């Protein structure tokens, strides 16, 4: 039995798939409406992200405008709207303070120079096809990074939310200082910000169709401006965008300061590394997520996207703007509004230009507390409790890595947090792929043998897991004999991409030598299977995965080999319990009633199954379910089951899945999706 991925093939679109470039201009009716709605979301978000980054508010609008004017010309994605992102705000603020030695005003021109260098690095990486290395980052680490950024955003916006500055600048310092600062808050600012935040949560939970035309952030910011005018807030609590942008609004990068001050070189190098890493991982992950909800099922080009981001970052920094990456919220609004190409981003930029030059006075009525509420809600969505429950549902080991990444990031910084999370994931994988005791030599361990075994396990995680490729009829078969983990996903991804064009089915075989399939790789395989089937090429199935031990009920949970260290004990314990219970016929019926789905799945891995309650003729009924072979005559049930062990004899037909390739023409079975 194989694990089928994807839904049955659906009817193909009769309408031609929209493309970027000049050909995409014919969809202007759809894109201009989408651009208008996206601009209404982009306006408050861009202003708030700039403030959260420690930059002037107008810099956020400049970034969004530059992204809209440049990205459609370079392509890479189709309906992904780019601009300043909340995920980079804490990193930009910390880098600005580091470069300016605590002075944000001096640090911002230096940061613009660093953003320009980051853009140049991204262009170079795109030519080396480096986008594929973003898959090295495990899902739990990426989610942990984003969750920690969400917590940082919430903490950093508390001063604007209560209308009083904080002395602390680090996360835990702000948390500990909050009770005392609440006693000094501005009641009017706190009332307005609290009302805006409450309204935002209510609107976000609403299913009203009106909210598709009027995005919740726009409604909240408008409400905040009116409420702020009613409360009579002072100018100190309002946004300030200069009316003459060219005289007072543009900030130029300070390249001379970066080159002449050697004490800044280490800070420059570390900032470029952090921005490149977060930019790449978050951007490519967002682009891939948007591809999955694209109604035309188009696939973005990661390296082209990386190139477009590099060029956009250079242009943005030279105009005084922030870093530019694809945004998930704005992209979703674009799709819901009917956007079809990247020209929707271009129209979004034109509308923002209109707001900037024609509605400056209205923008300056927006309270900082209202934008703080929008950003706190954004940060909450990045670290909400549902995310923690989801990670726990995927597996406790994923929750552990997720938590370690968050704690490490909050205690240090983003670069160290990601590194510690990656190290935790690597240690976890090595422990899961360590040879079982029965396979180790019985000879005394020689000096250095333990280190050699460790290095061998680590090296295996970074090697191509595919050992054999075979075209059998119209089915393409890939055989894996090494762990399938995030660290070697780029090899497996390339193998999948090299599937022959004439193949009408794809089978990925998990051989008994594979000791581990991690969550990130399995999640990527499931996503690839959906794309493969959605392209009309046929089914994709993972053969042999059902023979492995799943860490949870989640479809993409971590899977270990059934003979891995620590796994047999659970099998043996469960089997021994049923041996004892089956030996006493009077206890069979209540025992069967107590069997849960997890225990049935465990028995299925041993070739056993209990699918119904036994009848009066308990022995014959169990024989029909392959628990005992009654055709041989009366035997002791315990001896029969002990002889079956984990692998039933030939006379007993196991219910476990075969690793043989299914017929190409047969329908998929046991689909995850």
* Model pLDDT for residues 231-268, shown as the tens digit of each residue: 999 999 999 888 777 665 678 899 998 988 888 999 99
Over residues 32-41, the mean pLDDT reads 91
pLDDT tens-digit map of 268-285: 999 999 999 888 888 888
pLDDT of residue 225: 94
Short-list 321, 320, 322, 339, CA closest to 330: 339
pLDDT of residue 498: 92
Mean of all residue pLDDT scores within the chain: 81
Residue 512 C-beta-side C-alpha neighbours within 13 Å:
6
pLDDT tens-digit map of 573-631: 455 555 555 555 445 445 455 555 655 555 555 444 444 444 444 444 444 433 333 33
Cβ atoms of 305 and 117 closer than 8 Å = no
Which region among 78-92, 327-341, 442-456, 509-523 has the lowest average model confidence (pLDDT)?
442-456
Instruction: Specify the CATH number of the domain 457-560.
Output: 3.30.750.24
pLDDT of residue 251: 85
pLDDT of residue 131: 85
Is 218 a residue whose pLDDT tops 60? yes
Strands across the sheet containing 2-5: 2-5, 540-543, 505-510, 475-480, 466-472
Query: Cα(580)–Cα(673) distance, rounded to whole angstroms?
Result: 38
pLDDT of residue 285: 82
Is 339 a residue whose pLDDT tops 80? yes
Query: Higher pLDDT residue, 669 or 433?
Result: 433
Residues of the chain above pLDDT 70, percent: 78
pLDDT tens-digit map of 302-312: 899 999 999 99
Residues of the chain above pLDDT 90, percent: 48
Which region among 9-13, 52-56, 297-301, 441-445 has the lowest average model confidence (pLDDT)?
9-13
Cβ atoms of 150 and 386 closer than 8 Å = no
Is 488 a residue whose pLDDT tops 90? yes
Query: Cα(662)–Cα(625) distance, rounded to whole angstroms?
Result: 24
Q: Which residues, in sequence order, are CB contacts of 460 under 8 Å at separation 6+?
A: 433, 482, 483
Query: Higher pLDDT residue, 498 or 642?
Result: 498
pLDDT tens-digit map of 388-424: 999 999 999 999 999 999 999 999 888 899 999 999 9
pLDDT tens-digit map of 637-667: 343 334 333 333 333 333 333 333 444 443 3
User: H helices within 509-614, ranges in order?
Assistant: 519-534, 567-582, 588-594, 597-605
For strands 81-83 and 325-327, give the pairing: antiparallel
Short-list 465, 120, 146, 422, CA closest to 278: 146
Which region among 9-18, 162-171, 541-550 has the lowest average model confidence (pLDDT)?
9-18
pLDDT of residue 15: 56
pLDDT tens-digit map of 519-536: 999 999 998 898 888 788
Over residues 550-577, the mean pLDDT reads 68
pLDDT tens-digit map of 500-518: 989 999 999 999 999 999 9
Query: Higher pLDDT residue, 22 or 11?
Result: 22
pLDDT tens-digit map of 351-385: 999 999 888 989 999 999 999 999 999 999 999 99
Residue 110 phi, psi dihedral angles, 5° rounding: -70, -40
The pLDDT-based confidence of 435 (bands split at 50, 70, 90) is low
Give the pTM.
Answer: 0.78
pLDDT of residue 103: 87
Q: Delimit the domains of the chain by residue range.
A: 2-8+25-396, 457-560, 567-644
């Amino acid at each position: 039995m194989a694990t089928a991925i994807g839904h049955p093939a659906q009817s193909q679109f009769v309408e031609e798939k929209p493309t970027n470039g000049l050909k995409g201009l014919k969809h202007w009716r759809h894109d201009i409406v989408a651009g208008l709605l996206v601009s209404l979301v982009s306006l408050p978000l861009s202003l708030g992200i700039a403030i959260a980054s420690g930059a002037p508010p107008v810099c956020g609008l400049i970034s969004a405008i530059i992204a809209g004017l440049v990205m459609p010309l370079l392509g890479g994605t189709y309906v992904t709207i780019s601009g300043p992102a909340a995920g980079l705000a804490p990193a930009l603020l910390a880098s600005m303070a580091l470069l300016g030695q605590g002075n944000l005003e001096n640090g911002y021109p230096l940061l613009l120079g660093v953003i320009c260098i980051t853009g140049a690095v991204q262009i170079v990486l795109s030519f080396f096809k480096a986008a594929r290395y973003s898959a090295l980052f495990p899902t739990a680490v990426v989610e942990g990074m984003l969750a920690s950024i969400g917590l940082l955003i919430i903490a950093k916006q508390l001063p604007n939310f209560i209308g009083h500055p904080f002395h602390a600048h680090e996360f835990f310092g702000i948390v500990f200082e909050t009770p005392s600062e609440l006693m000094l808050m501005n009641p009017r600012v706190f009332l307005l910000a609290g009302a805006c935040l409450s309204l935002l949560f209510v609107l976000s939970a609403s299913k009203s169709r009106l909210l598709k035309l009027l995005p919740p952030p726009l409604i909240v910011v408008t409400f905040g401006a009116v409420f702020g005018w009613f409360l009579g807030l002072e100018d100190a609590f309002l946004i300030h965008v200069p009316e003459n942008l060219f005289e007072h609004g543009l900030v130029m990068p300070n390249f001379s300061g970066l080159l002449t001050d050697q004490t800044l070189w280490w800070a420059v190098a570390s900032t470029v590394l952090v921005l490149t890493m977060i930019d790449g991982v978050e951007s490519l992950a967002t682009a891939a997520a948007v591809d999955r909800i694209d109604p035309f099922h188009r696939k973005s080009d990661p390296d082209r996207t990386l190139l477009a981001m590099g060029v956009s970052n250079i242009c943005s920094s030279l105009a005084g703007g922030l870093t530019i990456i694809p945004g998930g919220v704005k992209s979703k609004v674009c799709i819901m509004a009917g956007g079809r190409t990247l020209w929707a981003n271009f129209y979004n930029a034109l509308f923002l230009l209109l707001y900037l030059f024609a509605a400056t006075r209205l923008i300056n009525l927006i309270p900082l507390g209202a934008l703080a509420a929008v950003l706190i809600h954004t940060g909450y969505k990045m670290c909400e409790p549902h995310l923690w429950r989801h990670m726990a549902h995927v597996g406790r080991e994923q929750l552990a890595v997720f938590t370690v990444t968050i704690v490490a990031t909050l205690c240090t910084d983003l670069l160290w947090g990601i590194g510690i999370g990656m190290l935790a994931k690597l240690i976890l994988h090595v422990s899961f792929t360590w040879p079982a005791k029965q396979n180790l030599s019985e000879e005394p361990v020689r000096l250095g043998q333990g280190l050699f075994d460790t290095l061998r396990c680590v090296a295996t995680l970074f090697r191509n897991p595919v050992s054999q490729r075979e075209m059998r009829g119209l089915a393409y078969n890939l055989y894996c004999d090494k762990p399938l983990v995030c660290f070697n996903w780029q090899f497996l991804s390339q193998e999948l991409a090299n599937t022959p064009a004439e193949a009408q089915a794809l089978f990925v075989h998990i051989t008994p030598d594979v000791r581990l399939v991690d969550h990130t790789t399995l999640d990527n395989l499931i996503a690839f299977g959906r794309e493969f089937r959605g392209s009309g090429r046929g089914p994709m199935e993972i053969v042999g995965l059902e023979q492995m031990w799943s860490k949870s009920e989640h479809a993409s949970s971590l899977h270990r080999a059934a003979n891995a260290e620590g796994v047999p004990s659970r099998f043996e314990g469960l089997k021994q319990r049923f041996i004892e219970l089956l030996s006493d016929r009077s206890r069979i019926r209540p025992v069967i009633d107590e069997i849960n789905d997890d225990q049935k799945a465990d028995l299925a891995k041993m070739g056993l199954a209990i699918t119904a309650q036994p009848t009066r003729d308990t022995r014959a009924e169990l024989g029909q379910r392959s628990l005992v072979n009654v055709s041989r005559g009366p035997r002791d049930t315990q001896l029969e089951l002990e002889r079956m062990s984990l692998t039933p004899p030939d006379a007993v037909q196991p219910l476990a899945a075969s690793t043989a390739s299914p017929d190409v023409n047969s329908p998929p079975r046991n689909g995850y999706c």
